[in-house]
Amino acid sequence: MIKLRFVHLLTAICFFLPKIAARGGHSDYIHPGTARQLFAEEEPRPSVELTRGYMTNDDLEKAMKDFTKRCSKISRLYSIGKSVNGFPLWVIEISDRPGEIEAEPAFKYIGNVHGDEPVGRELLIRLANWICDNYEKDPLAKLIVENVHLHILPSLNPDGFSVRKRNNANNVDLNRDFPDQFFAFNEDLSLRQPETTAIMTWLRDIRFTASATLHGGALVANFPWDGTEDKRKYYYGCPDDQTFRFLARLYSKSHRNMSFSKEFEEGITNGAAWYPIYGGMQDWNYIYGGCFELTLEISDNKWPRASELPTIWEYNRKSMLNLVASLVKTGVHGRIFSLDQGKPLPGLVVVKGINYTVKAHQEYADYHRLLEPGQIYEVTASSPGYKPKTTSVWLGENAVTADFILIPEASYRGKLLRSSSCDCSYGQPLLLTRFFTETNNGIMFALVVVVAFLFFLLQRRVRSNLWKQRQSSRRSTTV
């Protein structure tokens, strides 16, 4: 009887441990130095035999360089930094204008955050090649190339991969090394891992709208929050919970079988409801990077045989493409302009009822606000020195473009009238009054004509040149 109970207990542990270890394991908050090493040595390393058929780090680097040569018209290769052991963290950018700043959203895919979860790095190279091979004939691939800047980092942890271990070369779990909203640790940037620092710098250099990291060990789309303030396990949604649920469902339902999960309803889960973690990349992206990130567990087996990779790719291909395309197929997008000069105006965009602010780009003043379809939203744009403007937007199945033209708080007319004030207690008051009245009337009439003409030209330019995808069914408005 005792032996039978022991067997049952051992079976339960073997069943649940791999899925817990996928994101790093659940426990109450532990000192960071210990928390990051949790489960670092729990699972045996994959055998050398099992790794055959996977690209080595050198193979991956060569594949990425070969790709950007073959697909040079729509791609470029760059590095965001180096790992502990000095291996470059290579990124492929895919766009019809790679390396240029445009009024378009940017998306990033990151794979191999954990060294012993290599499926993501293989799938991301396949994704890049599929887009290159099909963007001239497949509508979805063409949409992505022409309207999105897609950045692909196949391996964040090449050092861990090379020794088939979860953590990086300093034995740190990279998905526990980011600033955390609930528990402050490693605030000194010099104490962070070089891979972590590279990601943080990357998000300062490029304004990403959305992102996803590819993990292994389970089959589910995970969304924020990943942790709770009291360290307990329960559903804890972020301000954009409904939008994140929409994005997670989009991936899950586009997948061959993720949405049929018996463990996770619809194949999605709130991170804190699954098990809380702290110092994760996902929450940091949303809080500090202005980026909506999902954590995608794409394979029940953390290191499946290479012969299974084509099947796993086919199961995930549509999901990976649809998630990127969602940046332009849904949500509210637009630009902010100043009425007085007609120039792009860096500002902020908020949605009533959602405690989250989206920043417009400094140069083009474009914003990209991801939102769950099927609702009416009150969207407000603001900028220092200008009067905020609000519009109501019905967001259906397709994206909506809402451009804002903001009026200066101190109007030109007010300045002009103040500058023409005089002390009429001396001299000829009636003559001076008539002079300024007639002069102001003429100036104001000319000003009204000029402003009306500029407003007409600005509306024409905004409506005709903002987005290429407006040729589709996207609705647009200028307020």
134 and 8 share one domain? yes
Q: How far apart are CA 238 and CA 354, in angstroms?
A: 10
How many CB atoms sit inside 10 A of residue 265's CB?
Answer: 10
How many CB atoms sit inside 10 A of residue 238's CB?
Answer: 23
HSE, side-chain direction, 13 A CA sphere, residue 61: 9
φ and ψ of 251, to 5 deg: -70, -45
Per residue in 352-399, pLDDT (tens digit) is 999 999 999 999 999 999 999 999 999 999 999 999 999 999 999 999
pLDDT at 133: 98
Among candidates 244, 343, 236, which has minimal Cα distance to 285? Answer: 244
313 and 216 share one domain? yes
Domain tally for the chain?
2
258 and 371 share one domain? no
What is the mean predicted confidence (pLDDT) over 429-437? 39
Chain length of the chain: 479
323 and 345 share one domain? no
pLDDT at 43: 58
What is the mean predicted confidence (pLDDT) over 227-241? 97
3-state helix, strand, coil in the chain (%, to 5): 40, 20, 40
What's the CATH code of the domain at 454? 2.60.40.1120
DSSP helix/strand/coil, 169 = coil
Question: Position 429: which residue type?
Answer: P
Q: How far apart are CA 295 and CA 458, in angstroms?
A: 41
Among candidates 226, 252, 285, which has minimal Cα distance to 106? Answer: 285
pLDDT at 432: 35
Give the domain-ending residue among 329, 361, 379: 329
The model's confidence at residue 59, banded by pLDDT at 50, 70 and 90, is: very high
Among candidates 429, 367, 351, which has minimal Cα distance to 103? Answer: 367
What's the CATH code of the domain at 281? 3.40.630.10
285 and 309 share one domain? yes
256 and 396 share one domain? no
What is the mean predicted confidence (pLDDT) over 48-72? 93
pLDDT at 95: 99
Find all residues with CB under 8 Å of 415, minimum gap 6, and list them.
Answer: none
What is the mean predicted confidence (pLDDT) over 337-344? 93
322 and 357 share one domain? no
Structural domain of 9: 2-329
299 and 247 share one domain? yes
Give the domain-ending residue among 308, 329, 350: 329
DSSP helix/strand/coil, 270 = strand
337 and 269 share one domain? no
Give the domain-ending residue among 273, 301, 329: 329
Give pTM, 2 decimals. Answer: 0.82
Residue tagged 């045996």 (tokens): 44
299 and 359 share one domain? no
pLDDT at 76: 99
Q: Is the pLDDT of residue 311 over 60?
A: yes
Cis peptide before 225 (omega within 30 of 0): yes
More confident residue, 81 or 430: 81
Q: Is 146 a catalytic residue?
A: no
pLDDT at 454: 56
Contact 177, 279 (CB under 8 A): yes
The model's confidence at residue 429, banded by pLDDT at 50, 70 and 90, is: very low
Per residue in 256-280, pLDDT (tens digit) is 999 999 999 999 999 999 999 999 9
Long-range contacts of 380-385 (CB under 8 A, 24+ apart): 380/349, 380/350, 380/351, 380/352, 381/336, 381/347, 381/348, 381/349, 381/406, 382/347, 382/348, 382/350, 382/406, 383/336, 383/338, 383/345, 383/346, 383/347, 383/348, 385/409, 385/410
The model's confidence at residue 410, banded by pLDDT at 50, 70 and 90, is: confident
Active-site residue identified among 104, 293, 297, 372 = 297
What is the mean predicted confidence (pLDDT) over 50-75? 95
How many CB atoms sit inside 10 A of residue 409's CB?
Answer: 11
68 and 148 share one domain? yes
Per residue in 443-465, pLDDT (tens digit) is 555 564 555 555 555 554 444 44
pLDDT at 476: 74
Top mean pLDDT of 3-7, 223-227, 415-419 is at: 223-227
Per residue in 145-200, pLDDT (tens digit) is 999 999 999 999 999 999 999 999 999 999 999 999 998 866 777 789 999 999 99
**Dihedral through CA 80, CA 82, CA 87, CA 88, nearest 10?**
20
Percent of the chain with pLDDT over 90: 72
The model's confidence at residue 478, banded by pLDDT at 50, 70 and 90, is: confident
353 and 323 share one domain? no
